């Protein structure tokens, strides 16, 4: 294994969309459809830093579900469509605009966390700053 300096800085969009390791760009980050592996099989990067939480679902809801539901509402108001029409048009539209983009979005968010060295925020108080200055 090599040190972190020997790995090129790969853009998150390049590695994340493909579901590749954010450090080497070779190994896969997924173990299944959306479950993350524990680490890269190629370079050994530990994926414990990765926590995209509900980020992929949020983006899917905003950019996939909202337009699909708007279409369903328009279809209902404009044509008073029966349920079978919604079953044939709206349900596939919602599924096609939501499910396929979940994995690339999750990969992009994980790769972005690695690229930008994102980590959990920590509250800095006057007590912690004074104890750090004393050491």
CA terminus-to-terminus distance, the chain: 35
Q: Each residue of 22-81: pLDDT tens digit?
A: 999 999 999 999 999 999 999 999 999 999 999 999 999 999 999 999 999 999 999 999
Query: Has residue 7 got a pLDDT over 80?
Result: yes
Q: What is the DSSP string of 34-90?
A: SPBPSB-TTT--BGGG---TTHHHHHHIIIIIHHHHHHHHHHHHHH---HHHHHHHH
- Report yes or no on 40 lying in a domain: yes
CA distances (Å), 99 to each of 11, 14, 17, 46, 105, in order?
24, 20, 14, 27, 11
Measured in degrees and rounded to the nearest 5, phi and psi for residue 30 equal -105, 140
| Structural domain span for residue 43 | 4-119
- Report yes or no on 129 lying in a domain: no
Q: Specify the pLDDT at position 2.
A: 47
- Report yes or no on 63 lying in a domain: yes
- Report yes or no on 124 lying in a domain: no
- Report yes or no on 45 lying in a domain: yes
- Report yes or no on 39 lying in a domain: yes
- Report yes or no on 105 lying in a domain: yes
Number of structural domains in the chain: 1
- Report yes or no on 127 lying in a domain: no
Residue 39's DSSP bridge partners are 46
């Amino acid at each position: 294994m090599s040190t972190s300096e020997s790995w090129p800085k790969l853009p998150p969009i390049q590695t994340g969309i493909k579901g590749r390791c954010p450090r080497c760009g070779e190994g896969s980050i997924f173990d299944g459809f959306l479950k993350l592996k524990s680490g890269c099989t190629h370079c050994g990067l530990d994926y414990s830093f990765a926590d995209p939480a509900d980020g992929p679902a949020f983006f899917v809801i905003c950019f996939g579900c909202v337009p699909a539901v708007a279409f369903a509402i328009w279809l209902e108001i404009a044509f008073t469509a029966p349920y079978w029409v919604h079953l044939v048009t709206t349900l596939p539209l919602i599924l096609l605009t939501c499910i396929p983009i979940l994995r690339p979005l999750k990969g992009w968010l994980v790769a972005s966390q690695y690229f930008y060295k994102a980590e959990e925020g920590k509250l800095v108080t006057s007590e912690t700053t004074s104890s750090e200055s004393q050491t």
